[in-house]
Every structure is written in structure tokens, then in C-alpha cells.
Amino acid sequence: MNDLQGKKAIVTGAAQGLGLAMAEGLAEYGVKVCILDISPNLSQTVEDLRKKGYEVEGVTADLSAIDQIEGVFNQAIEKLDDELDIIVNNAGIHKPMPAVELPVEDFQRILDVNVSAVFELCRLAAKEMKKKNKGKIINIASVLASQGGFNASAYSTSKGAVAQLTKSLSNEWAKDGINVNAIAPGYYKTELNRFIMNDEARYESLVSRIPAGRFGDPEELAGTVQFLSSNKSNYINGVILPVDGGFLGR
């Protein structure tokens, strides 16, 4: 994947978790990465990655504020020397709760961050990429794009939408040399899943349904994002690729 060297990428929600592992996976192949994240830990993450010798920038952004997204996107492009080859729309939120108790404001916020922000960033990225007739858009869906999950009404709705959005945008932009694909992670050891890992019975029951017999480590997503960002995947369009230890196949 030598073609990744010198490419420019935005990765959202990469102050920690899966986004951080994917940002690092790109940076280790010589990609200059700009992270968009709301986290107060963003500057520390950027510093840590730079200490490892990677070219990394950060822009603080609340992606639930849809009207501010164009501004933070432009800041990121400026930090990437006015170029964009890859965007990984990873930032996402979840509020596990029975549907009857979930306030509609929370349902809406989950859709704002997980879907509307992804739509807006895809559009802005595609405008840049169309200038070169080339680009890679990678959205982070979930295995809950295919399944309803439990106490996950807003989250599974949002991830189903990410999968459909990915296919729809792929149909529009494949002819422009833009590959729009999604990764559907299974269950990984991140903060998002802390509530499951803290519930031994739930954790054991989930693990027993994963053919690999364990949750994934975030670093195990790096190879997939490197592949979908590189020329090796130029004829892959509109795919929702599970990286889930076999969970969906069961």
C-alpha cells in the first residue's frame, strides 16, 4: 500500500477508540491525518501521535452542530495543505436505553452525530475529491446496521442509515473515481462498550455468540482502513464490510 505515502486524510472521532487506531494505521503508512473531535483529550492524542513520528493535526469540533461542520471541515483542509484524499467518518455516539425511556432529544442527537454529520462531511469531501477525480470515503457503520440490537433503537436506526447512505452516495460518485464504502465493526474493547464490559453476564453472553470467541482490539481495524484507503480497493464500491470476528455470519 505504498500509494498511501503522502496522502491527506480526515478521521473524525479519533481522539480515542476505533478512530484513534484507524488514524494511527493510516499515519504509519505516511498519511498526514487531521482529527476532528469534540474531546478535551484531542490535543494530548495529537501530541502522543506526533511523538511517534506521525504527521497529525487536530481540529476541535462538535459534529452535532450541523451548521458548524463546513467551518471545521475547511479548517481541517487548510491543515492538510488544501488537499483531501481520504475521509473516515468514525465519530459516533450511543445511549443504551429502553425506547420508552429514551428522550426524543437524545434520539435526535444520535441521528445528528451518527448520520447528518456523516452526510454533510461526505458531501464536503466529495466536492474536494471531484476536483482530482479520486478519493476514498469510509463510513463507520456497525453490525447493528443489520441487527436491531438491544436497547439500541436510536443507535441501530442511525447505523442502518449510515449503511444505506454509503450505498446511495457510492452510486452517485463511483463514476467520479470516489470509492464510498463502510466498515461494520463488531464488538470492540472501547469506551462505547464499557457498559457491556462492566456487565459480566451480558459480556459473556455476547462473547459466546462471536465465533472468534472475543471482542476485537481497536488495532485490528487498521488493516481494513488501510486497504479501503489505498489503490488496492479502487474497484470496491458501496460495500458494507463487517470486521466482526464472524458475528454476522453466525
Ligand X SMILES: NC(=O)c1ccc[n+]([C@@H]2O[C@H](COP(=O)([O-])OP(=O)(O)OC[C@H]3O[C@@H](n4cnc5c(N)ncnc54)[C@H](O)[C@@H]3O)[C@@H](O)[C@H]2O)c1
Residues with catalytic roles: 155
73 to 52, 108, 143, 159, 218: CA distances (angstroms): 25, 22, 28, 22, 25
* Cα 28 from Cα 10, distance rounded (Å): 15
Site string for ligand X, 135-174 (x = CB under 6 A): -----x-x--------------------------------
Closest distance to ligand X from the beta carbon of 188 (Å): 4
Contact 42, 62 (CB under 8 A): no
Closest distance to ligand X from the beta carbon of 111 (Å): 12
Residues 38-57 that bind ligand X (CB under 6 A): 38-39
* Cα 239 from Cα 229, distance rounded (Å): 13
Closest distance to ligand X from the beta carbon of 92 (Å): 2
Secondary structure of residue 57 in the 3-state scheme: strand
Q: Write down the residue that cell numbers 495529537 correspond to.
A: 46
Closest distance to ligand X from the beta carbon of 126 (Å): 20
Looking at 3, 28, 62, 83, which residue binds ligand X (CB under 6 A)?
62
Looking at 8, 9, 10, 19, which residue binds ligand X (CB under 6 A)?
19
* Cα 173 from Cα 128, distance rounded (Å): 12
Site string for ligand X, 78-117 (x = CB under 6 A): ------------xxxx-------------------x----
153 to 4, 16, 19, 150, 163: CA distances (angstroms): 37, 24, 23, 8, 16
Nearer to ligand X, 134 or 227 (CB): 227
| C-alpha grid cell, residue 50 | 506526533
Closest distance to ligand X from the beta carbon of 68 (Å): 10
Nearer to ligand X, 174 or 239 (CB): 239
Looking at 18, 163, 180, 222, which residue binds ligand X (CB under 6 A)?
18
The stretch among 24-32, 75-83, 186-194, 224-232 that binds ligand X (CB under 6 A) is: 186-194
Looking at 63, 76, 121, 124, which residue binds ligand X (CB under 6 A)?
63
* Cα 239 from Cα 181, distance rounded (Å): 5
| C-alpha grid cell, residue 144 | 447493528
Contact 92, 14 (CB under 8 A): no
Residues 204-243 that bind ligand X (CB under 6 A): none
- CA-nearest of 50, 230, 10 to 140 is 10
Looking at 7, 8, 9, 16, which residue binds ligand X (CB under 6 A)?
16
**Which chain residues interact with ligand X by CB under 6 A?**
13, 15-19, 37-39, 61-64, 90-93, 113, 140, 142, 185, 187-188, 190-193
